[in-house]
Structure 1
Amino acid sequence: MKGDSVMVNATQLAKIYGKRPNDYLSLPATNQLINAITRKYGISENQLVISKAGSSHNGGGTWMHRLIVVDFCQWLDIDLKLWCTEKLDELMRYGMTATQPTLEQMINNPDLVISLAQNGKREEKQRLALEVEKKEQEKLSIIEETKPAVVFTECVTSSSTNILIGDLAKLITQNGNFRNGFSHCKSQGVVIHDTPDAMEE
């Protein structure tokens, strides 16, 4: 065990049900789960599943990361899978789930219900704030990417006379990428006449 990287001896668990970890690991759905965990958390496959020599009683066998063990245990025990499904159903219907002792505490202690509700409200506020911040950063990124093209178009459309591309390039060099601006200007229907020599400047 290291930080959140809790490893469980899957060989010992599987023996209780007369099953083998290798049968679970060979399933296409298991490979998809491992790939999804690797993609999201950046944990390599050899850190999610570890094989050690020796008997399971001496630390040998197949060890699995906690994120995989949850699914592995549902594969081992159909009743556990049903229990997990029921908990997900509670989350979808009520927005929360709890063990029986916690439910009894909530019934007998209204302050606990209020505390849980306040914590949930605070977490939801934080989540919404992060979403807003992410959207604002995306907007700023788009603005920065299109800035050269906008500057280019404004320079051309605000001019009362024709302007050579070479001169215009010098004008907007400090503000952005000339090639991107020219492409954008063409797409907006702005026509600029220039000589081939000036285009090469």
Structure 2
Amino acid sequence: MSVVIPFDYEGQPVQFNADGWLNATRIASRLGKEPTAWLRQIDTLEYISFMAEALGLNSVPRTELDEIKALGTSAPGIKNRILTLAKSTGLVKSRVGAGGGTWLHPKLAVVFARWLDTKFAVWCDLKIDSILHGDMSVREQLEQALKTLSGRKALASEHGKGLSAWRWDKPVLENSVQFWIGQVQLSLGFDEAA
């Protein structure tokens, strides 16, 4: 995942990355649900498969979808099979550790959000649109700050002398990245406190 942009929805943290992917695990847990409960539904698998096909990604073969529909979710092991097939499309990613959880492609985020809560779905749709189509000059500044931070880190790793300079440059560069994340949020109207 790329840089995570945190937002606030009614006092609850919601994480998107710069490409609009939603951290489904974090928000679902705040609303008392689990993303796997949504991902293990036959209708969800069918939607994900058709979306993957429309986007030119790996879709689930129609014969396999029909077989799963015929078996139903009460068949042994079918829910895990559905989850595995959903992940195989590339529209669902799971990570372990810091920043981990189940991340959903922007094309799935609103459908998932609708399953969680309708009001949240509308909010989510607007935020994804803002991330993907918002103020590009601010987003470009963020990307430049990230590129500079990454470049200096790589240089520091390559050169022993660079480590000393990195020690002093790192806080300044990290502050620059944090500043531009804040600017992205403000320019896209994410200042919920106002």
- TM-score normalised over the length of structure 1: 0.35
- Larger strand percent: 2
Larger Rg: 1
- Larger helix percent: 1
